[in-house]
Chains A and B, each alone.
Chain A
């Protein structure tokens, strides 16, 4: 068991910015960055699964998501942040110092204790919740377009969703696929105007508007999407060999149920214009507490706020 003044849980733009600021405040933060996975719940967060990031200030030609995260990581370690590639299994914020477990949550002794904790566990992509998804993942159904686009060269595939990430994936996948059908429940996209225009201009992207996914068809590999027109109720099969799901995100807050206040959707509730939570000494930043903006730059900004809030709180305790 080791003790730290500041422990940061999560290592996306929010967590790593908090680490840079806390490290520069000589607080020697520990960042528990998570474990590898093929969805966005992994070290580096959602940007690890993206390609070009074009809206992060300071990069006029854009920057690759994984490169941006690698750079933030080395910037944090340069100032003395310690990073461990582990996943938290339990926290106890009811006693002080706060206790954090890795691995066996029933272990008598926690792995780490902390005077203050910054929660930046982010959000993970939501699946459709169909039984077929478990069977077909890795067999045509994918959570990572940058990983798997390669396998769909000259094939017809579908992307489900209507936000920026859906359009980014669709655009990326047209480098490989002969046709990408974007399946969206509504008759208009949520995505930013520039992303929409690019998608409309891309001859390989077709749109299935007002269309819901009923099922993914195929026993051992994806053969089609079963779709329903949300207006007429008419059902049809769209033959595809690949399906990429980008319908939205859910905050990673299971660890904090019953300890930190959250809204009905599971997002942590922070003080107005602050990073404070209902527990003094626990701060939250990034997508885990933001369902409005959800940008890398807003996550980084709120990570800075959390580090400053934590530093001031630690100082105030010593008075």
Chain B
């Protein structure tokens, strides 16, 4: 479905992110993180509105701690934008929608 957010696991990460024709914004999050929950609806809106420009995916750091380690995530939410499978931009901490869109502007 266009604009749907996929959950990535250690098994699916490389295929989903590496093979994507569009940039993928990956949200590293966890159930116990308040600011992560607060930006979740914003990311859903962006995923729906920007379908075709970028994709949004999530990594639950509780379930995929190796992915968090691999990308040196030590604070959540951390958002990493992968362009052609390579980390191109990193944003640490929750932000409002206008700020997020501004940070992502060059990819939209």
Contacts and interface: CB of A to CB of B under 8 A. Distances in A.
Interface of A: 35-39, 42-44, 48-49, 65-66, 85-87, 103, 137-140, 142-144, 146-148, 150-151, 221, 242
Contacts of A143: 93
B35 interface: yes
A301 B77 CA distance: 33
Contacts of B61: 150
B78 interface: yes
A35 B95 contact: yes
Contact of B39 (A36, A65, A86, A150): A36
A38 B77 contact: yes
A35 B99 contact: yes
A33 to B, nearest CB: 11
Nearest to B29: A147
A148 B75 CA distance: 5
A85 B37 CA distance: 14
| A66, A138, A143: most-surrounded residue (chain B CB, <10 A) | A138
A87 B32 contact: no
A138 B94 contact: no
11 contacts: A35-B98, A36-B35, A48-B38, A138-B75, A138-B93, A144-B75, A146-B33, A148-B74, A148-B75, A150-B30, A242-B74
Contact of B95 (A37, A146, A148, A151): A37
A142 B72 CA distance: 14
Leading 7 A-B pairs by shortest Cβ distance: A35-B96, A138-B92, A38-B93, A36-B94, A138-B75, A36-B38, A151-B74
A88 to B, nearest CB: 12
A252 B66 CA distance: 38
Contacts of B42: 36
Interface string B24-40: 00000010111111110
Interface string B89-108: 00011111111000000000
B76 A147 contact: yes
A8 to B, nearest CB: 18
| A35, A49, A65: most-surrounded residue (chain B CB, <10 A) | A35
B36 A147 contact: yes
Given A42-B94, A137-B92, A37 B75 contact: no
Nearest to A153: B65
Nearest to B98: A103
B17 interface: no
Contacts of A139: 72, 74-75
| B32, B73, B75, B94: most-surrounded residue (chain A CB, <10 A) | B75
Given A38-B92, A39-B93, A144-B34, 18 more contacts: A36-B42, A37-B93, A37-B94, A37-B95, A86-B96, A87-B96, A103-B98, A137-B75, A137-B93, A139-B74, A142-B75, A144-B33, A144-B75, A146-B33, A147-B77, A150-B30, A150-B32, A150-B61
